[in-house]
Amino acid sequence: MLHQRFKILLVLYCLLFLGFLQAQAEGSKLEQFSRQYLAQHNIATVLNEAGLNGPTIGSRNFVLQGVPHETLGEGYVIITDHQEPAYLDPLGELKKYHNGTLIQIPDLSRLDSDPAVAKILLQKLVAAQPRYVAIAPRTQSFRENVLLSLWSVFSRLDKSGQIAVFPGWLIAPDAISFKQLIDRSLQFKPLSGPSLHPMIIAQVPGPRAGGTRAVAKASLLQKYLGQIGCPTDALILKTNAAVRAGIETPVFDAQKAVLNVGSTFLQDFPDTPKSQLSAANLLLLFGHGIPGMTCSIDVGAFKNVPFNNKIVLCGSCFCTSPVHSDFDSTPEQVYDAPGANSARQTGEQFAGRAIANGAALFYGQMDTNGGFPELYVVLSNLLQGRCAGDSYQRLLNNRIVASGLQPEEFVLRNAGDNQAKNRRTELLYVLIGDPALCPINIEDSSLRNTR
């Protein structure tokens, strides 16, 4: 009798194992197609830029390989230095939803200057054994060196020197937007292939500032998304320099609008692009940025654009710039755009505007953004159904490996050392939203015309 039960259990185990293998194989179809698509378009997948020639690096004509890493455990941890009920109450709801642990640090802004604070946090994380870590700092604590200090702590959870959790940031311009961000994550329904409506915005700044680099990536991704069953609108913005140089945009498969923004930044969207932008739930942006501007668009132009549950992946610089900066990297000049002065004075963070208007996830950079190669890591992993924190971790660990920095070296100690600053800028990518959120579920049946 026991022998017969053992045989039955063995058969069931084998069936489950075969089902697991089949699921793994099916889940990789999109990944396999993505690799083939990139290879067909001569886009190399690399661990870092070493070995690439100058033109390839300059044109950003490559993608980075994500570096996955096992997490310390299976728990959900929230780290915060908020003390007001308007912030702690929503965090309590998030903690309850994920059956998580709340770690309160009196002042996260001391993390980079007081080793005792980092030690306490490390001990509490080891005790909590997290898989996901949601970081909810106060505005004054959202700085480059605080981010780098957290990466240092997360990279010391094991001996690998890599981030051993799936992180995500919970930040918003005010308490109301903060609560709404958490509410959206708790109520979010994954977007399937048919319900995924991407839109790409790309800038043509002129021959001296990247030429058609951004718009070429927009064309590449539009065709790629179309082939996996997601027709994609595009908005191209040309500066005066691009118009004078006679720069032509690449061929696009689906609807495309081209706007000549002239000598300043776009202050409002025409009706058709605004309608497309409102309808999109996956927004990709490629082009230059400063605080207050992205892709030649004044951030104020998005004020009346609904971002309801949008996933926003932005390849522009400074789109998640902190109010208080340790790096002080605001560019001294912004290409061919007199409107830069007003944008710099306004300084509205694009990420903050997107979250306030209803975005569920926002990916960007505190400082200078590498653009397409880095953004593609997050996009491709989200499209494969991975959670936000997993997708984010793969990019961060790639940049950590490429930097050659050890965890104790992450924090910038000398803001005047430009070489040291540039190495650490590679680690300043930010993903705002619940790290456990898996926002996209594309069925393999969506793949079509994949030859």
Mean pLDDT, rounded, of the chain: 87
At 442 the pLDDT is: 80
At 212 the pLDDT is: 83
Q: What is the pTM of this model?
A: 0.90
Number of folded domains that form the chain: 1
From residue 402, give the alpha-carbon distance in Å to each of 299, 406, 407: 32, 11, 13
Give per-residue pLDDT as tens, 332-372.
444 344 445 455 556 689 999 999 999 999 999 999 999 99
At 330 the pLDDT is: 52
Q: Please provide residue 28's backbone torsions phi and psi, each rounded to the nearest 5 degrees.
A: -95, -5
Q: Which domain holds residue 15?
A: 1-28
Lowest mean pLDDT among 114-123, 174-183, 200-209, 417-426: 200-209
Most confidently modeled range among 11-25, 143-157, 237-251: 143-157
Question: Is 5 among the domain residues?
Answer: yes
Average confidence (pLDDT) over 303-311: 96
| pLDDT band, residue 254 (cuts 50/70/90) | low
Question: Is 15 among the domain residues?
Answer: yes
Question: Measuring CA to CA, which residue among 150, 170, 157, 185 is closest to residue 73?
Answer: 157
At 207 the pLDDT is: 75
**Dihedral of CA 107/112/115/118: which sign?**
positive
Helix (H, G, I), strand (E, B) or coil at 349: coil
Residue 253 has pLDDT above 80, yes or no: no
**Percent of the chain residues topping a pLDDT of 90:** 71
Q: Could you count the other beta carbons within 10 Å of the beta carbon of residue 139?
A: 14
Question: Is 269 among the domain residues?
Answer: no
Question: Is 9 among the domain residues?
Answer: yes
Helix (H, G, I), strand (E, B) or coil at 169: strand
Higher-pLDDT residue of 81 and 25 is 81
Question: Is 313 among the domain residues?
Answer: no
Give per-residue pLDDT as tens, 3-51.
554 454 344 334 334 443 444 444 468 888 999 999 999 999 999 999 8
Sheet holding 297-298, edge to edge: 289-290, 293-294, 297-298
Question: Is 8 among the domain residues?
Answer: yes
Whether the Cβ atoms of residue 389 and residue 68 lie closer than 8 Å to each other: no
At 440 the pLDDT is: 95
> Where do we find the tokens 């094991």?
158
**Percent of the chain residues topping a pLDDT of 70:** 85
Question: Is 24 among the domain residues?
Answer: yes
Question: Is 292 among the domain residues?
Answer: no
From residue 191, give the alpha-carbon distance in Å to each of 25, 168, 188, 273: 21, 20, 9, 22
Residue 250 has pLDDT above 90, yes or no: no
Residue 162 has pLDDT above 60, yes or no: yes
